Amino acid sequence: MATITPKIQKARAGLIRRLAETDPPGKVLSLYVDLDPAKFATPPARESQVKSLTNEAESMVEQFDRESKMPLREDVRLVREFLLGDFDWTSEARSVAIFASTGNGMFDVLKLPEPVERGVFIDDRPHVLPIQDLVEQETWCVLLVSRDVERIFIGSPITLKEYDESREDVRGQHDQGGWSQRRFANVVEEDVEDHLKKVAERILALHKATEFDHIVVAADEELWPRISERLHSYVSQITVGRIDADIQMATAEDLQTKLKSIAARQEAEREQELIGRLKEGLANDGRAAGGLERVLAAFNEARVETLLLAEDFSASGVTCPTCGYLGVSEGTCPVDRESTDRLDDIVPRLVERAGELAADTVTVRNPRALEDSRGIAALLRF
């Protein structure tokens, strides 16, 4: 039997997006292992989780038709062998996702920076829904600047890391007295100006290379206007504002906490705006759909611009294997009279379809916002 080596990688948005679009000829086994240190710190605890997950996978496989069963059994065997082997798949990860369709050369192991609930899924594509949020993470840059220090952090609110640290040689500000003190002070101010100018240039260069979505600056009240007026317009238009942080000592974790709350605030604002458009669309101009049936109709007409889902929304539905028609109840497809397939959970299919339409999928956190639409709505393009 051919051997296949698992590809162990850190999860990155691009990689997850690529996996989500992979559609191999057979079924794909997706498995999530939780490495939360509070629950699974010890090797025996991890081992028993792996055993119960792979046992669960084994019994799921037996529900498939003969054609799918054989390669899936092999996938489960290889995944179990890998997870119980001595590969280093637990380091630097809070959870691990595995996507296997080994007969088609797929055996991807993703180390995730956040805990994800354990689970087993068998589907036509890699089941990436539990890590969809990672794909939607935007890139942030945090600049910490004082009169003589500049530190830069880059990443998402959960993956932020220090990029580089450079401490410039700005002469110390000792009390010298008299004429010499004034002159000395001038030189130091010039050095500070020069330092700020270099910082602004560096941020612009990094932004050109990385394309940040947001920039946050930590500087004291006195320095903030001086640095902000030096930032290039490309940089200042994505600068969210100033935060307080210990310029010398702040750690990536400290800044992650701050970014998470800024991001949550931005998300709440965006959500409010979308819900406003939804209300208006439902009441007036018809550029919105509320409730599963109407949303599915909008998908069938390729009109969806933004799919809005309540956090706990789930529903079953049907789809036509030939044309992709989506509906709520079983029967024949109204387009081509093909008999429809039942989907126990229609959400992953809708997220996928939204992706195909280049529509956003937004999980609405405010539990009341989608009450009238029973948990699902869409903003429409026309």
* 249 half-sphere exposure, CB direction, 13 A CA radius: 1
CA distance 268 to 213: 17
**Which DSSP symbol is given to 282?**
I
State both tokens at 83: 């997870």
Q: Shortest gap between Cβ of 318 and Zn ion (angstroms)?
A: 10
CB of 307 to Zn ion, least distance (A): 21
Question: Between residues 77 and 349, which has the closer beta carbon with respect to Zn ion?
Answer: 349
d(CA 134, CA 112): 9
Minimum Å gap between C-beta 298 and Zn ion is 17
Binding to Zn ion by residue 9, rule CB under 5 A? Answer: no
> Smallest distance from the beta carbon of 297 to Zn ion, in angstroms?
14
Closer to Zn ion by CB, 76 or 326: give it.
326
- In angstroms, give the least distance from the CB of 335 to Zn ion: 4
Q: How far apart are CA 254 and CA 249, in angstroms?
A: 10
Angle at 276 (CA atoms; ends 270, 282), nearest 5 degrees: 135
Residue 64: Cβ within 10 Å count: 16
Based on CB atoms, which residue is closest to Zn ion, 271 or 352?
352
Asked whether the beta carbons of 357 and 275 are under 8 A apart, the reply is: no
> Binding-site residue total for Zn ion (CB under 5 A)?
8
Nearer residue to Zn ion within complex by CB, 313 or 325: 325
Question: Which one of 5-13, 20-28, 29-37, 317-325 is the stretch in contact with Zn ion (CB under 5 A)?
Answer: 317-325
Pick the closer one to Zn ion by CB: 337 or 368: 337
State in angstroms the smallest separation of the CB of 331 from Zn ion.
11
Q: Which runs of consecutive H residues, i.e. helices, occur in the chain?
A: 13-21, 37-40, 43-61, 66-84, 132-136, 178-210, 223-228, 233-236, 252-280, 292-300, 347-356
Given the complex with Zn ion, which of 84 and 335 has the nearer CB atom? Answer: 335
Asked if 320 interacts with Zn ion (CB under 5 A), we say yes
Amino acid at 56: E
x/- mask, Zn ion, residues 322-341, rule CB under 5 A, reads xx-x-------x-xx-x---
Minimum Å gap between C-beta 337 and Zn ion is: 8
CB closer to Zn ion out of 212 and 325: 325
CA 26 to chain CA centroid, nearest Å: 27
Please report, as ranges, the residues that interact with Zn ion according to CB under 5 A.
Answer: 320, 322-323, 325, 333, 335-336, 338
